[in-house]
Amino acid sequence: MQVTAQMVKELRELTGAGMMDCKKALQASEGDTENAIKWLREHDLATAEKKAGRIAAEGIVDSYIHDGGRIGVMIEVNIETDFAAKNEDFKRMVRDLAMQVAAMNPLYVRREEVPADVTEREQEIARSQAVKAGKPEKIIAMIVEGRLEKYFEEVCLMEQSFIRDESKTCEQLVKEMIGRIGENIKVRRFVRYEMGEGLQKKCEDFAEEVASQLSK
């Protein structure tokens, strides 16, 4: 099937991929747009794996304020060169990730950052629930592993479903951008503030301390 310039243009508008990559994807997919998009994703992921070991020391720190100033996020995303850090697609991705943090409130960037004691606590909770539910011992380990995977998907930014396209994770979003720009990208860190967060607990702790002193 002949791939026309209009087909390439439409696929580029949908994906943001380069013209030549769009043409290759359409040729490989015999003009089918959905399969071409899948081809581009697979191609981007393969490119990302090759670049994963390269140092990314440039990048940007972006901020996002949500809900009338009630939630604020700062995020640092690194890339290899200062030139690539000015790429509009890269900057949009960083802003999208900041919005993701604001909306989904992850606790860590990736699962390797989850402290061992937190992982052990979640495993113990899952095991205890499985035992109480009367699950056979031979499948409890599988249940615990499944619950832990679910926990990582909830609290780790890179494993969360991307809020703008739930068919992919934030990890896949970043890898696609690596394939598109041609440089390694790494989400380094973020911080999220929410108005009044922690104040209720501090008030409760203070009340308990006062009550304890009065009872002496």
What gap in Å lies between CA 42 and CA 203, rounded to an integer?
51
**pLDDT band at 215; cut points 50, 70, 90:** low
Average pLDDT for 39-68: 76
Stretch(es) of the chain classified as CATH 1.10.8.10:
1-51
What CATH number belongs to 115-152? 1.10.286
Give, in order, the Cα–Cα distances in Å from 135 to each of 1, 131, 147.
55, 6, 14
Q: Provide the pLDDT for residue 5.
A: 87
1-51 CATH, one of 3.50.50.60, 1.10.8.10, 1.10.390.10, 3.40.190.10: 1.10.8.10
What pTM, to 2 d.p., does this model score? 0.69
Question: Per the structure block, which two tokens stand in for 211?
Answer: 């009550």
Q: Provide the pLDDT for residue 17.
A: 66
Average pLDDT for 14-40: 82
Tens digit of each residue's pLDDT (9 = 90 or more) over 128-181? 999 988 888 889 989 999 999 999 999 999 999 999 999 999 999 998 888 888
CATH superfamily for 54-114+156-216 is: Elongation factor Ts, dimerisation domain (3.30.479.20)
Residue 67 half-sphere exposure toward CB, CA atoms < 13 A: 10
- Across 65-69, 100-104, 109-113, 121-125, least confident range: 65-69
Q: Provide the pLDDT for residue 205.
A: 63
- Residues facing residue 62 across a β-bridge: 75
Residue 101 burial (10 A CB sphere; 0-12, 13-18, 19+): buried
What gap in Å lies between CA 128 and CA 144, rounded to an integer?
9
Average pLDDT for 109-115: 95
Rounded to the nearest 5 percent, the helix, strand and coil shares of the chain are 60, 15, 20
